[in-house]
Structure 1
C-alpha cells in the first residue's frame, strides 16, 4: 500500500482495494489494472508518465496492466477538462496513434505484464438497442453534475449528446475487461466513478478508482501540455530533457521526484529534508533530478554528457560539441535569417526574440531588428537558451 499510495490523490474506496489485494494474494490471481489511453496525443511527455508510473507500480506487485486504446471513443472525443467539444478522430487515426502510445509507454511499463486492447472490439459491436439500454442506467441529472458540463451549461456553451455518452462508453470498457482497479488523472474522476456505477448495474464487482495529480509544466503554472509548450517529452534528446528540467521552479523539485521518477520512498524523504535545509542549494538537487530523468529515458552516460554540455554552454559560456550549419551567400536581415534557420516561425516572432534580448551573433547580443548579416567568415548564431547554429558561406 505504501507503493500504491505514493503520489496518489484519492483511492475510492481504499478499503475495497485492500480487500481486492488480499483476495489476489490468497488466490494467486493478479488484478486487472485498467488505464484508458488517449489516442489524440501520440507523443508522450512527463505529465502522461505520472499515471503510467503508477501502473508500473501495480506491475511490480505482480498485477496485469491493461492498456485500453480508445480507438472507438476517440471518435467521440473525451470532454474531460474541456470547455468545448473535442474534434473526433477517425478509427484509423486513433489506431495509429495507439501504436505510438504503446511503444513509448513501454519505456516505463513491463511489456510482459501489459495487455493492449482496442475498445472498438466491443463498442463497435453494440447496436442502437444496446446503447439505449446502457443509457437507461444513468440519469441526465447525474451526468450534468460533472464540472465540465456544469460550467458549459451555465455559460451557454453547447453540449452535444454524443459527449454525454462518452463516460458510459468508457464504463463499458471496464465491463469488457473485468476491471478491478482503474487509474486516471484527477480530471478523470467523474468518468472513473461512472465505471463503478455501470459495473454494479451489470451485476459485477465495482472497480476501485485511483486518481493521480496533474503534473504542473515547466512554466510552473499550467498542467504540462504540448499546447502550452511547457512540457518535457520522453523521446526528446538528452540535452533538451536536461535543460528543460533545470528550468523548473524550486517549488516543483520534490513533486517531479515523487511523480516523474522511480527513486525509492526512503530517498524521497532525504530529498525533502535537503530541500527544507536552507544550507543546501536547491540547484544541486535539481541537477540530480535532471540527470535522473535523462537516465530513465536514455542512459547514465547520456545524462552525464547532457550535464557536461549544459555546463559548457551555460556555466562556462562554451559552445555545444555539435552544431547544425547554415550556408548562405550575400546578405540577410537578422529577422529573415532567424526564420530561415528555423529558430522562429515568423518575422514577428523573430522580432520579439531580438527585442527581448534572446539573440546573439558570435557572443554579441543583437539589439537592432534591422541588422543585416553578411557572412565573410563562419559565425555562431544563438537564439534563446539552447538554439545554436554555425553560419558559413556557400
Structure 2
C-alpha cells in the first residue's frame, strides 16, 4: 500500500506531526491514531481540507462551558484550514438520543427543534468561525429515505451489536421498555457520516457507541472510514458531576463577565489543568507550560485559577471585560468592597417585606425555602450586614443593596 505519509517532504512531515499533536492533545481516545496521521498527510499532499463532523441534537438550547470541549477541538481543525461539518439533528432530534437515559426521550416538535437550533448556532459563533462551517440539517437526507432504504440500513448492523449499549442492556435487565425506534438513532447518526463522507468525527465519551457507528456504516457502504476523536466529559464546578445546567454546576457562555469570572474562581484546584487544556484557546505550548508550572509548584493554585478565569472571560467577552472582571473580583473578594456595577432594580412592591420574600421578588433565589436556608448559612446580606433572622422584616429604602452568596448583588431603586 502506497501511504501518503511515505510521500511527505521533511517539512510536510513536521507539519503533519504538529497537527497530530494538537488534535490528539486532551482527547481520551483516538480511533485509530495512525489513520489520523494518514488523513492529515493526504490533506497536506492534495492541499485538500479534511471534513470534520460534529452532530448535535438541539434538545437543550443553552450552551455552557462543558459543551465547548468539542467546539474548541473543532476550532483547532479550523485554524489549520479544515472544514467543519456541523450537523443539526432536526430529524434525529425528534427521536432523541437514548444515551444515558433510563427511559425513552420525549420526542421534540418541529418548533422546538427549530428554536433550539437557532440558539445553538448563535452561541457556537462565540467559539467557531461560522464562515468555515458547513451547516447541515439531517432531515434533508434522512426524510428522503424510502422504507426499502431503511431496511437496507438496518441490515448493516446486528441486534446483538445494538444490545451492547449499556443504556439498552440496563433497561432490559430492569424490565423497562425499549422501543424499536430507539434502535434507529445510532443508525441514523452513523448514516450522516456515510452521506457526508466525513473524514473525522468528534464526540464526548458518552457518545462512544454513536460515533463508532458512523465508522462501521461507512465501511459497510464501501466508503473510506472516518477517524473518531473521543473527548472527555468536563466535571462541573462541584468537581464531581458532569457539568449541567440542571445541576447548577455550570458556567454559561453568555453569562456576564463578572459572573463568569466568579464562577471560574470556584473551580476545584485539581481541575484547573483539565479546564485549561479542554476549554481554552491557548496554544498547545501554552497549555503544556501551565501544566508544568502547576505540577512543579512554580505557581500558586489561586494565581493559576485567576489566569484561567481571566482567559475564559476574555474568550467570550474580550480583553477589556476580562480585566474589569478581574479587578471587580479583587475588589469584592480580596478587598471586601462592593462591586461598582451593581444592577439597579426598580422596586414597586411593599415597603416592608420579609427577607426571603424580598430575595425571591428580586429573582435572586427561586424559592423562599431556599432563601431561608441561605439565611441560616449566613449567605444573605443587606447593605453588607449579614442577616441572621429568617423572619426579619426589611424596610425597603432607596439604594438598599441586597447580596446573596458571594456573587449576586442588586440595588433597589424607588420611584
Q: Shared fold (TM-score greater than 0.5)?
A: yes
Structure 2 CA distance for aligned equivalents of residues 66 and 56 of structure 1 = 12
Q: Secondary structure at the match of 2:112?
A: helix
The 10-residue stretch of structure 1 (325-334 or 80-89) with the greater mean CA deviation from structure 2: 325-334
CA distance, structure 1, for counterparts of residue 398 and residue 135 of structure 2: 56
2:373 corresponds to which of 344, 352, 358: 352
2:103 aligned with 1:84, yes or no?
Answer: yes
How many residues get paired? 394
Relative to structure 1, the CA distance from residue 300 to residue 377 in structure 2 (aligned partners, 3 Å threshold; closer, same or farther) is closer
Q: CA deviation at 1:278?
A: 3.8
Cα drift, residue 326 of structure 1: 4.3
Scaled by the length of structure 1, the TM-score of the pair is: 0.96
User: How far 1:351 moved relative to its partner?
Assistant: 1.2
What's the secondary structure of 1:83's corresponding residue? coil
1:294 aligns with 2:313: yes
| Between 88-97 and 341-350, the greater mean CA deviation after superposition | 88-97
1:391 equivalent to 2:408? Answer: no
Q: Is the 8 A contact 1:193 1:209 kept in 2?
A: yes
In structure 2, C-alpha distance between the alignment counterparts of 1:388 and 1:111, rounded to whole Å: 36
Aligned to 2:244: 225
Q: Which residue of 1 aligns with 2:392?
A: 371
Normalised TM-score (structure 2): 0.91
Indicate yes or no: 2:52 matched with 1:39: no
Deviation (angstroms), 1:376: 5.1
Comparing 258-267 with 248-257, greater Cα deviation is found at: 258-267
Q: How far, CA to CA, are the matches of 1:243 and 1:127 in structure 2?
A: 53
Confirm or deny: 8 A CA contact 1:75 1:90 kept in the other structure: yes
Contact 1:339 1:347 in 2 (8 A): yes
Match of 1:191 in 2: 210
Quote the residue 1:337 is aligned against.
358
SS in structure 2 at match of 1:66:
strand
Give the counterpart of 1:235 among 234, 247, 254: 254
Aligned partners of 1:393, 1:265: CA distance in 2, in Å? 52
Which piece of structure 1 moves more, 239-248 or 355-364?
Answer: 355-364
Gaps of at least 5 residues in structure 2 are: 1-19
Matched, 1:250 2:243: no
| Contact 1:258–1:268 (8 Å) recurs in 2 | yes
Q: CA deviation at 1:377?
A: 5.8
Return closer, same or farther for 1:356/1:128 CA change in 2, 3 Å cut-off.
Answer: same
Deviation at 1:279, TM superposition (A): 5.8
Post-superposition Cα deviations, 1:236-258, rounded to whole Å, max 9, x if no partner, equal: 11111100100011001000110
2:132 is matched with 113
| Contact 1:329 1:393 survives alignment (8 Å) | no
How far did residue 169 of structure 1 move?
0.5
The reply on whether 1:314 has 2:333 as its aligned counterpart is yes
Structure 1 gap segments, 5+ residues each? none
| SS of match in other structure, 1:26 | helix
